[in-house]
Chains A and B, each alone.
Chain A
């Protein structure tokens, strides 16, 4: 009987198809019927027209060939990128853009990490910020204009809500505007956890910089500053995309603050609306917690030396 199978091509093809479909049904089709495969976070919002245009550009340029968009629930990954990815964050991605290779860093938590100006400068010329970066230059996106009727068709295909005003507002926007708008939205449905490393529970007592004035720490801080801060704050901290660090203006208000306020900001980054010493932040800055305490204090020591303090 079984030998017959090898003389009957149609029967053989049917049996082979059934054998192939068993695994398909159990691991692909059956999960699709389950609610757990269609999760959506409550505060996940559909893409706006400009963000969708940016996502289209992200796909067109094949950004997902070098950047993943999923943070694994592994200790070092969460420290490096932020909270691990949740199933409910991707309901509006058709298809998912998790990627499979990290030639560049993961982007699952890129939204809100840097100010817009950082993204414009970085896409135009990545090497101006990271001299040895292998990322291509995307300066041409600054000259290419988005196509509002096409974006409207894309919004419709996705069934995303939009108004005529949303579409007409796209006129005059560049592809770079769209891409930055998209990137700023990625991963923002999950709220960032406010975390403090230095000032633990209890009343806030100012902590002195243990490395203040230490020549070795200042030298290390200078190197770290060049690697991590200079692209935005300029050489010696005179300012650029980010504010000057050489003056005594902090969060836009004149008047000095304590060493550990600097520490706090470098460690946890800045989100608009964050309050430090009664001053409200308007800007965005990434956290540099990953550097660790010693390096952050060294940076503070260096900044103080630039300020002449």
Chain B
């Protein structure tokens, strides 16, 4: 037994909070998926698609995603530095401020307080709150790492440090605005320039919220749960530096064929292609790690979460660059292909890896085993099927939309009015709702399993005391 105490309460608090916000985000996701094919599900003014969609994206990216990142990072950092957090009380305050911020964020978005910057919708007072939140987090992470008991910093710590600095820079710059009252502001950036700043932010929010932190989890929990060491340390070094170098150049691939200067678009497209290499560096590292003993896929239930998770990361990082190509962009941009792409990353890579990390952490904290491996396997297959059905359906819809928008008659006139192309999406959008239901049921198995494990652990601890 160690002579010090890990601060497990905060870790658990973040994990449970993130699961709570995850449920809110997923339920709203299902709701807006129905609004897509049935306008009667809009309840004006607070629950129209236009307002709910941002609650869905913010709730899941920041409530589930960032909440899980906070909790899991605290766990990983304590283990990798072999010491408790430097400021455990600050971490506890951080937990409460986080939940207050997410609750206020959701309410403000329902109320329509919206900067209209994708994934940075929150108005300026909340932005300031989030910067404070991030500083609290950064102080604890850096303080603990500096005062560590283990000299060498493991790969996961590199990704954690990169996440902490990059998110700070991205968030502060993109949210710079001129307040015009407590609930309204105007960006300091205008027009074409604001588009470039926003997608520099938007794409790197994907990079430093949905990629680097998840890789930090992957590099820590894959070896931990399988007992197999990471295949190549050198490959992980190359992949790390080239990933964080390359990512920041690529934002403008979201602005292909817009009035943004062509050279910025082209530069972004080139670097997007380049990014396949470092992304697949981690994919290959993961495969070869488990490659030394593929039987782990069967014998250790978490292995398949991590391997399928990294596989979706691999698919995502090939699909993304192809979408950046002008010829592909001209067909699928602005269509449902894009949500199909995003959800492969979020429902496949991010949620699978994060859930598996939680499956690892919770029994460890309670000194017990997972409540039910069978339920975890059911969770796995349901989210896999739900996510694939979601993404594939949306890719087909997207290609159809793009093709119908482009279809012309012999005389060059358009074959379809916009309204006609809209109605043809409805069968696919209904299927997407069904896919979402399947995914949600899978997530309910996950939540049940986590809660029952906590219960089991608490009873165990009580009987020992």
Contacts and interface: CB of A to CB of B under 8 A. Distances in A.
B330 A72 contact: yes
A96 B193 CA distance: 8
B161 A13 contact: yes
Given A20-B162, A31-B264, A157-B178, A90 B146 contact: no
A24 B246 CA distance: 10
B142 interface: yes
B112 interface: yes
B257 interface: yes
Interface in B13-44: 35-39, 42, 44
A225 to B, nearest CB: 13
A87 to B, nearest CB: 4
B390 interface: no
A31 B261 contact: yes
A20 B414 contact: no
A61 B268 contact: no
B196 A154 contact: no
Contacts of B401: 102
A114 to B, nearest CB: 14
Interface string B276-312: 0000000000000000000000000000000000000
Interface string A139-166: 1100000000010011011100000000
A105 B401 CA distance: 12
Contacts of A105: 418
A9 B153 contact: yes
Contacts of A158: 178, 180, 186
Interface stretch (A130-138, A206-214, A258-266): A130-138
Nearest to A93: B191
Interface in A7-36: 7, 9-10, 12-13, 16-17, 19-24, 26-28, 31-32, 36
Contact of B44 (A65, A68, A137): A137
A72 B258 contact: yes
Interface string B405-421: 11111011110011100
B118 A98 contact: no
B191 A19 contact: no
A195 interface: no
Given A60-B114, A136-B49, A150-B181, A76 B190 contact: no
A22 B245 contact: yes
A27 B267 contact: yes
A139 B43 CA distance: 11
A70 interface: yes
B448 interface: no
Given A6-B152, A20-B166, A133-B39, A157 B185 contact: yes
A96 B192 contact: yes
Contacts of A79: 408, 412-414
Contacts of A154: 180-181, 184, 186
A102 B422 CA distance: 10
B417 A157 contact: no
Interface stretch (A239-247, A276-284, A285-293): A285-293
Contacts of A136: 35, 39, 42, 44, 48-50
A228 B417 CA distance: 9
Contacts of B261: 31, 36-37, 87
Contacts of A203: none
Contact of A292 (B151, B185, B409): B409
Interface in B42-75: 42, 44-45, 48-51, 53-54
Interface string B135-170: 000000010011010011100011001101110010
Interface stretch (B93-101, B224-232, B248-256, B365-373): B248-256
A80 B418 contact: yes
A44 to B, nearest CB: 10
B194 interface: yes
A95 B50 contact: no
A27 B53 contact: no
Interface string A206-227: 0000000000000000000001
Interface string A78-94: 01100001110111111
A16 B257 contact: no
A68 B334 contact: yes
Which of A21, A101, A126, A291 has the largest number of chain B CB atoms within 10 A?
Answer: A101
Contacts of B244: 16, 19-20
A104 B53 CA distance: 15
Given A27-B200, A27-B248, A94-B189, A61 B50 contact: yes
B414 A76 contact: yes
B115 interface: yes
Given A9-B142, A72-B258, A103-B36, A27 B44 contact: no
Contact of B405 (A10, A17, A76, A86): A76
A100 B190 contact: no
B179 interface: yes
Nearest to B419: A130
Contacts of B411: 292-294
Contact of A61 (B112, B180, B417): B112
B209 interface: no
B423 interface: yes
Given A31-B264, A72-B258, A154-B180, A20 B330 contact: no
Interface string B215-244: 000000000000000000000000001001
B192 to A, nearest CB: 5
B218 to A, nearest CB: 18
A106 B409 CA distance: 21
Contact of B417 (A27, A28, A227): A227
A11 B41 CA distance: 53
A272 to B, nearest CB: 25
A5 to B, nearest CB: 9
17 contacts: A12-B161, A16-B162, A27-B248, A38-B193, A65-B53, A90-B191, A94-B194, A96-B192, A96-B195, A97-B116, A101-B339, A104-B422, A133-B419, A136-B42, A154-B181, A157-B180, A290-B413
Query: What are the nearest 9 A-B pairs in CB distance?
Result: A292-B413, A62-B50, A23-B248, A90-B191, A157-B180, A136-B42, A60-B112, A23-B249, A72-B257
Interface of A: 6-7, 9-10, 12-13, 16-17, 19-24, 26-28, 31-32, 36-39, 56, 59-66, 68, 70, 72-77, 79-80, 85-87, 89-106, 126-127, 130, 132-140, 150, 153-154, 156-158, 227-228, 289-295
